[in-house]
């Protein structure tokens, strides 16, 4: 084991994942999403949320077939934004999966940490358009202000499930959803909660968002081949595919889970957060601080970097990110980088923004449970400078005892979390 100061060697309790819920472009539900990822199916297609015909990018990874009325009554649907609706649906599935018993005795010890990056961007844009089109200074939906706030998905989950423990939210761009797990883990280790529902959510497929990202040159323009547009680590990658969705996980101590008779997916063994302090959108090309996050996360998990079996990559399909992430993995793992399996779910579901890191956590947990890792699709022409084992095209059966996921966000936010087999395994 790598670090004498790791949580395991301090005698801290294990924090484990006991429930998972998902609403993604791969499907509505944890198992549907997982099987779609393993099958290498793309959830990318032409934009249906708005008329994108005037834009250079006309494709996105949309959640299909989601009806908020299946989860919320009419009033709550009207008063809530899409990113909150996704989160409530995912949280309900996660709570059911974890067999949570929520009553007067337990509700005060169950918390929520669900983060978002762009939050209610769609709600604000719609309200603004309505205001500009109206002769009166009145917006169509009087709840657009509270419904668009970053903390609202976490609060909506608490309202929906009747939870009175600590509830919070923060924004770390594309690292938001993964950082939620580290926040939740701290609450449990500090004794402030017995159980925490945590993860990420976002839904901002809108004209203004796409116009802004197009002006940055960040998104793929492979409109004639939507399913092949997201191609992490490929030589012909031309940008990322914008997506939406939510993933929520249930965390609790291993001891608490054992008392409830629940079998965990995996242990949240350790994590780290660093900052490039380099640029508001571009990663530091030398990857030094992304490397530091990987090294620190493994140290805090009590494993050597070379003990990782699998890395769920950030893998955005942009020229800068994929190269920088490859360099960071190589620098952190050394010679062991040639032995680790690395794959990029964004090749199938696009970039879920605030939910992306939470999806990576789900992938790691289910890979540990099932002994299989999803592929990186569309990797037909590998970039010679991206020279790791990216599990091309087809899922791979393999033992996964330790896995990590990377989440790198605008502003240079680098979050890495390590997951291990639970001791009961």
Catalytic residues: 174, 314, 351
Residues 6+ apart with CB under 8 A from 79: 143, 146, 147
Can you tell me the distance from the alpha carbon of 248 to that of 354, in angstroms, rounded to the nearest whole number? 12
Nearest to 42 by CA among 318, 308, 377: 377
Nearest to 320 by CA among 229, 417, 408, 214: 408
Structure tokens at 174: 């594309």
Can you tell me the distance from the alpha carbon of 276 to that of 408, in angstroms, rounded to the nearest whole number? 10
Structure tokens at 279: 């640029």
Tell me the residue length of the chain.
Answer: 425
Structure tokens at 357: 């890191």
Decide: 357 and 51 in contact? Cβ < 8 Å. no
Q: State the maximum Cα–Cα separation within the chain, in Å, rounded to a whole number.
A: 67
């Amino acid at each position: 084991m790598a670090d004498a100061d790791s949580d395991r060697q301090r005698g801290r309790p294990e924090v484990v994942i006991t429930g998972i819920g998902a609403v993604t472009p791969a499907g509505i539900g944890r198992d549907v999403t997982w099987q779609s990822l393993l099958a290498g199916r793309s959830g990318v297609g032409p934009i249906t949320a708005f008329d994108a015909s005037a834009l250079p990018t006309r494709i996105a990874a949309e959640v299909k077939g989601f009806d908020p009325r299946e989860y919320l009554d009419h009033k709550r649907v009207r008063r809530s934004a899409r990113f909150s609706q996704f989160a409530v649906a995912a949280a309900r599935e996660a709570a059911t999966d974890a067999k949570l018993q929520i009553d007067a005795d337990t509700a005060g010890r169950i918390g929520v940490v669900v983060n978002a990056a762009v939050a209610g961007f769609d709600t604000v844009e719609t309200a603004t358009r309505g205001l500009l089109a109206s002769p009166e200074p009145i917006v169509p939906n009087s709840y657009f202000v509270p419904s668009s706030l970053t903390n609202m998905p976490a609060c909506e989950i608490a309202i929906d499930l009747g939870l009175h423990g600590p509830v919070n939210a923060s924004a770390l761009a594309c690292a938001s959803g993964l950082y939620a797990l580290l926040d939740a883990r701290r609450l449990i280790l500090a004794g402030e909660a017995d159980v925490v529902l945590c993860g990420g959510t976002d839904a901002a497929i809108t004209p203004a968002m796409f116009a802004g990202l197009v002006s940055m040159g960040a998104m793929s323009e492979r409109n004639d081949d939507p399913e092949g547009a997201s191609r992490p680590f490929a030589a012909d990658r031309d940008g990322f595919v914008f997506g939406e969705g939510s993933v929520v996980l249930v965390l609790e101590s291993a001891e608490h889970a054992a008392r409830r008779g629940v079998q965990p997916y995996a242990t949240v063994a350790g994590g780290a957060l660093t900052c490039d302090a380099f640029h508001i959108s571009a990663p530091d090309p030398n990857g030094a601080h992304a490397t530091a996050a990987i090294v620190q996360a493994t140290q805090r998990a009590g494993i050597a970097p070379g003990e990782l079996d699998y890395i769920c990559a950030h893998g955005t399909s942009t020229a800068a990110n994929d190269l920088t992430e490859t360099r960071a993995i190589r620098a952190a793992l050394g010679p062991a980088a040639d032995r680790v399996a690395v794959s990029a779910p964004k090749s199938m579901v696009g970039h879920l923004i605030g939910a992306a890191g939470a999806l990576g956590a789900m992938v790691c947990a289910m890979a540990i449970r099932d002994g299989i890792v999803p592929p990186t699709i569309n990797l037909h022409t590998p970039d010679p400078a991206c020279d790791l084992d990216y599990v091309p095209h087809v899922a791979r059966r393999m033992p996964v005892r330790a896995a990590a996921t990377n989440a790198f966000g605008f502003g240079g936010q680098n979050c890495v979390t390590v997951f291990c087999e639970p001791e009961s395994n």
